[in-house]
Amino acid sequence: MPDINGKNMQNSSPENERKSEQNAEVLLHEIMPKVKLWLEVDGEVVFGSGRVALFQAIEETGSIKQASEKISMSYRAAWGKIKATEDRLGTKLVKRQAGGRNSGAELTPKGRELLMIYRKYRQDIVTAMDKAFFDIFRDFER
């Protein structure tokens, strides 16, 4: 007769059951919550992990081209993400200086603010998620 997992109970022994319980306990200790988080306006992405990486790389390199190369994104995709985010939020986030000796890019004060508050928001979400996971699953692991 099969058990609730569809296994044949005639083949179960105390030793097999102990092994199964030990395997389940090991798996439960390996469970870790993960979250993918992004912000939307009217169902369209405005900020998430890709844009965080892009904005951070712009801050580090002073260039959209170098930033896109650093995070393995095409220049066109980087430019499109910046423009889409600025259009959806209705504010300039990246200051661009084209051509010449002073060419490059930098985050505007609003761009830096968005990056900073998004990081804080994400950290608060992860902290709350980890606490909830521990509170809810700690008895399940025993």
For 38-68, the DSSP string reads EEEETTEEEEEHHHHHHHHHHHHHS-HHHHH
As a dihedral over the C-alpha atoms of residue 43, residue 123, residue 57, residue 70, rounded to 10 degrees, the angle is -90
- What are the structural domains of the chain? 1-30 (no CATH), 38-137 (1.10.10.10)
Sequence-distant (6+) residues with CB within 8 A of 137 are 28, 31
pLDDT in tens, the chain (142 residues): 444 444 444 555 666 555 555 554 554 567 888 899 999 999 999 999 999 999 999 999 999 999 999 999 999 999 999 999 999 999 999 999 877 777 899 999 999 999 999 999 999 999 999 899 888 887 775 5
Report pTM. Answer: 0.74
CB 105 within 8 Å of CB 59: no
Residue 30: its pLDDT value, please? 73
SS3 36: coil
**Both tokens assigned to 133:** 């996971």
